[in-house]
């Protein structure tokens, strides 16, 4: 797929969120066999004169036969999708195990920018909220063209967050989102899993569809560090430990997988889509997961 060419590493070198979002989405669309902008409910809006060189798929051939003039049928996409993207800015999201890769928070910003670009191109409404241990900045959901600028302005300057209280934040945001829609959470989910699930359940209780992108660094998954390493807590300053990862890799992997399996099981139980992504994953996978979710909603 064309969008696979824009790797997270290359996105980090480009820097500009607007450019990254456009390249990711345009490449993603080129790679699809079927456009996501068709196949949903659509109603006829009006006729307009055909411009030579345009596709003729919506040509009104009856009008051509009667008037010898070429007119296209213009359709208005009917969508009720209202998406709110939640981006975790807590300190743990600043981790990167490789300088060539973006930190988890930067990866979330790229993915949120691309998803916002895609949503707005589909005439859907998109909103944004950032948080650490409490809600931070908020952009109310709208489907206006200038909405992308408002969203990117916040994503371009994500704050250096502090601690994590994801469960509490999810409950607070669930009470703030005024209408049923799609809630997209981007986080490493490094908090009490029971409190996280309770927060996600709150969204489901209020009628929202939910998709969660669990964004992790590859080294958090495999603990593939060599030699003796000093680990420092990003959310608890002064707390650090020195060890050789090779000696504890097996035990770590067992506990890590048990934690992830618990999250998977509970998300399935609540009918929440959980997408596990590492920061070396092409952004197309995230857009594809969103698109599959959207197709199930219509």
CA geometry: angle 87, 116, 274, nearest 5 deg: 55
Query: What is d(CA 32, CA 19) in angstroms, rounded to the nearest whole number?
Result: 20
Query: With 90 as the cut, is the pLDDT of residue 259 above it?
Result: yes
Identify the top-confidence range among 9-23, 40-54, 163-177, 242-256. Answer: 163-177
Segment 113-156, tens digit of pLDDT: 999 999 998 888 999 999 999 999 999 999 887 899 999 999 99
**Token pair of 102, please?**
């973006």
Give SS3 for 86: strand
CA distance 267 to 285: 19
- Segment 101-111, tens digit of pLDDT: 899 999 999 99
C-alpha Rg value of the chain to the nearest Å: 22
> What pTM does this model have?
0.80
Q: Which two tokens stand for residue 11?
A: 């996105």
Whether 10 has a pLDDT exceeding 90, the answer reads no
Cα–Cα distance measured from residue 278 to residue 215, given in angstroms and rounded to the nearest whole number:
5
First to last CA, the chain: 25
* Rounded Cα distance, 109 and 20, in Å: 10
CATH number of the domain located at residue range(s) 2-33+79-297 in this protein: 3.40.50.410
pLDDT tens for each residue of 220-251:
998 877 777 777 777 677 777 777 777 788 88
DSSP state of 241: E
pLDDT tops 80 at residue 63:
no
- Domain boundaries in the chain? 2-33+79-297, 42-77
Residue keyed to tokens 């070429």: 70
pLDDT band at 8 (very low <50, low <70, confident <90, very high): confident
Tell me which DSSP letter residue 157 carries.
T
């Amino acid at each position: 797929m064309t969008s696979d060419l824009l790797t997270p590493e290359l996105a980090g070198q480009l820097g500009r969120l607007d450019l990254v979002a456009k390249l990711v989405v345009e490449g993603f669309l080129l790679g699809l066999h079927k456009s996501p902008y068709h196949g949903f409910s659509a109603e006829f809006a009006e006729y307009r004169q055909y411009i030579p060189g345009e596709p003729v798929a919506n040509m009104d051939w009856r009008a051509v036969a009667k008037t010898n003039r070429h007119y296209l049928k213009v359709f208005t996409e009917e969508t009720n999708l209202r998406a709110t993207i939640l981006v975790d800015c807590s300190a743990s999201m600043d981790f990167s195990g490789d300088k060539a890769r973006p930190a988890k928070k930067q990866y979330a910003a790229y993915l949120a920018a691309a998803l916002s670009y895609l949503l707005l191109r589909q005439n859907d409404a998109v909103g944004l909220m950032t948080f650490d241990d409490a809600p931070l900045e908020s952009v109310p959901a709208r489907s206006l063209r200038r909405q992308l600028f408002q969203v990117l302005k916040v994503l371009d300057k994500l704050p250096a967050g502090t601690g994590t209280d994801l469960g509490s934040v999810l409950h607070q945001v669930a009470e703030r989102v005024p209408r049923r829609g799609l809630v997209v959470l981007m986080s490493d989910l490094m908090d009490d899993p029971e409190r996280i699930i309770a927060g996600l359940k709150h969204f489901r209780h209020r009628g929202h569809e939910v998709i969660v992108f669990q964004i992790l660094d590859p080294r958090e998954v495999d603990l593939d560090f060599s030699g003796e390493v000093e680990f420092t807590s990003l959310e608890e300053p002064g707390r650090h430990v020195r060890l050789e990862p090779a000696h504890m890799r097996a035990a770590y992997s067992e506990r890590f997988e048990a934690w992830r399996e618990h999250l998977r099981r509970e998300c399935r139980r609540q009918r929440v889509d959980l997408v596990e992504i590492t920061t070396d994953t092409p952004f197309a996978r995230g857009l594809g997961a969103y698109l599959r979710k959207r197709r199930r909603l219509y």
